Amino acid sequence: MSTHTARPVEPTVLKELRVTDDAGRRTVPVTDDEGGAPLRCCLRRSAPGERIALVSYAPLRRWAAATGATPGAYDEQGPVFIHADDCPGPDGGALPFTHAHRVLRRYSADGRILGGTLVADRFTDALDEAFTDPEVALVHVRAVEYGCFLYEVRRP
C-alpha cells in the first residue's frame, strides 16, 4: 500500500499566481463553462461554472528556491489550471488523476533529473518503485498528452 501524498500548489504560491504567474503575466480568470479542467490547487477536476485561471507555473524552480537546489536547465515552467479565487484545497483522498497515462519524473535533492517512467496502469506501484532509488527526493506527475505538471510527490 502506498504512503505517498500528492502535493497541490501551496496556498502562498496560489495567492501569488492569482495575481501574476511565473512567466510574469497578469492572471486572467475565466468561467469554465464545460468543467473538467485538472485543478492544481485542490487536485480535482473543475465543475461547470467555476471560475478558474490558466497560469504558468515553475514547480521545480519554486522547490529549488526553498531548498537551495540548483536545477539548471531542468528549471521549466508550464501551464496549470487553478481556481481563480481561494478554495479549500484537496480533500486528502486517494492520489488524483491516476486513471490515464502519466509520466513520473524523478529528481534528486540537488535538482537533477534522474529519469522518467511512462505509467499506463499500476500507478502506485510505479510511484513506490521510483522511491526505491535513495537519490530520489521528489517525483513530478505529468500528463502525457500535453506534458503538463499535475502534482508533486516527495519522499515519504
Q: Residues 15-32: what's their mean pLDDT? A: 98
Between CA 56 and CA 1 the distance in angstroms is 34
Q: Residues 22-41: what's their mean pLDDT? A: 97
pLDDT at residue 38 in the model? 95
Assess whether 121 and 70 both reside in one domain: no
Domain coverage including residue 122: 102-154
Q: Does residue 2 carry a pLDDT above 70?
A: no
pLDDT at residue 146 in the model? 83
Assess whether 73 and 33 both reside in one domain: yes
Between CA 65 and CA 43 the distance in angstroms is 23
On the 0-12 / 13-18 / 19+ scale of CB atoms within 10 A, 152 is buried
Assess whether 68 and 111 both reside in one domain: no
**Average pLDDT score, the chain:** 93
User: Is 91 within the bounds of a domain?
Assistant: no
Assess whether 25 and 69 both reside in one domain: yes
pLDDT at residue 25 in the model? 97
User: Is 140 within the bounds of a domain?
Assistant: yes
Assess whether 21 and 79 both reside in one domain: yes
Is the separation of the CB atoms in 155 and 131 below 8 Å? yes
Between CA 150 and CA 136 the distance in angstroms is 18
Name the domain count of the chain: 2
- Position 60, amino acid: L
On the 0-12 / 13-18 / 19+ scale of CB atoms within 10 A, 110 is middle
Assess whether 147 and 109 both reside in one domain: yes
Assess whether 106 and 79 both reside in one domain: no
Classify residue 20 by its DSSP letter. B
Assess whether 60 and 110 both reside in one domain: no
Q: Residues 4-24: what's their mean pLDDT? A: 96
Assess whether 24 and 71 both reside in one domain: yes
